[in-house]
Amino acid sequence: MLSKRLVDAINDQINYELESSYLYLSMSAYAEATDYLGSAAFFKKQAQEEVGHAMKFFGFLNETGNRVLLAGIKGPEVEFEGFGDLYRKALEHEKTVTARIHNLVDIAAEDKSHEASSFLRWYVDEQVEEEATFNMIVGKLKFVEGSKQGEYLLDKEIGSRA
Ligand code: OFO
């Protein structure tokens, strides 16, 4: 049994996951336009993963007999300040996602929704991975920023993950 406030919060999270997808797609477009082709491929894949996150929530609400209510998606940032800015902003974004997931976990626990508590565990683990990926890339920026050759090599390495 899901409480109304939990259903509302999950609907809001569906919207936020799609907003995340839109942000990463915008980052992919910026990377493509500035010739960071590895990052363009990487963020395109991230965008697809975020749609997957939204769809898992979508399925969960439907399976538990609750109503999915979609809302407008906020337009993403479209201009960035170079290669490093993309990853710093993505890391900050993922930290916000993690806080939102933890809030859902807290609501599920308070409202004794065992099915939601179990379902949300996947997202808790996923956020550990997502933050680790962006932390690793942001950590490497200090070795390459200011060097076009360094950025080129890191971009290429990131592209190989896509
Ligand atoms: Fe990047 O984890 Fe969903 O939003």
In terms of residue numbers, what domain contains 45? Answer: 4-161
Whether residue 1 is predicted with pLDDT greater than 90 in this model: the reply is: no
The confidence score (pLDDT) of residue 130 equals 97
Average pLDDT over residues 143-152: 95
Torsion angle defined by CA atoms of residues 48, 53, 58 and 64, in that order, rounded to the nearest 10 degrees: 150
Average pLDDT over residues 135-157: 96
Average pLDDT over residues 104-129: 98
Whether residue 71 is predicted with pLDDT greater than 90 in this model: the reply is: yes
Phi and psi based region of residue 36 (left: phi greater than 0; alpha: psi -120 to 50; beta: remaining): beta
Contact present, 66 and 7 (Cβ < 8 Å)? yes
Whether residue 117 is predicted with pLDDT greater than 90 in this model: the reply is: yes
Whether residue 157 is predicted with pLDDT greater than 90 in this model: the reply is: yes
Task: Grade residue 162 by pLDDT with cuts at 50, 70 and 90.
Answer: confident
Mutate to test the pocket of ligand 1, among 130, 133, 134, 137 (most ligand atoms within 8 A of CB): 130
Average pLDDT, the chain: 97
Domain count, the chain: 1
Closest CA to 89 of 33, 126, 141: 141
- The DSSP code for 67 is -
The CATH code of the domain that includes 114 is 1.20.1260.10
Rounded to the nearest whole angstrom, what is the distance from the C-alpha of residue 131 to the centroid of ligand 1?
10
Rounded to the nearest whole angstrom, what is the distance from the C-alpha of residue 21 to the centroid of ligand 1?
8
Percent of the chain having pLDDT more than 90?
Answer: 97
The pTM is what?
A: 0.96
Q: Which segments of the chain does DSSP mark as H helices, in order?
A: 4-33, 37-63, 83-110, 114-144, 148-159
Which protein residue's CA is at the shortest distance from atom 3 of ligand 1?
50
Please identify, by atom number, the ligand 1 atom nearest to the C-alpha of residue 127. Answer: 2
* Structure tokens given for 7: 């259903």
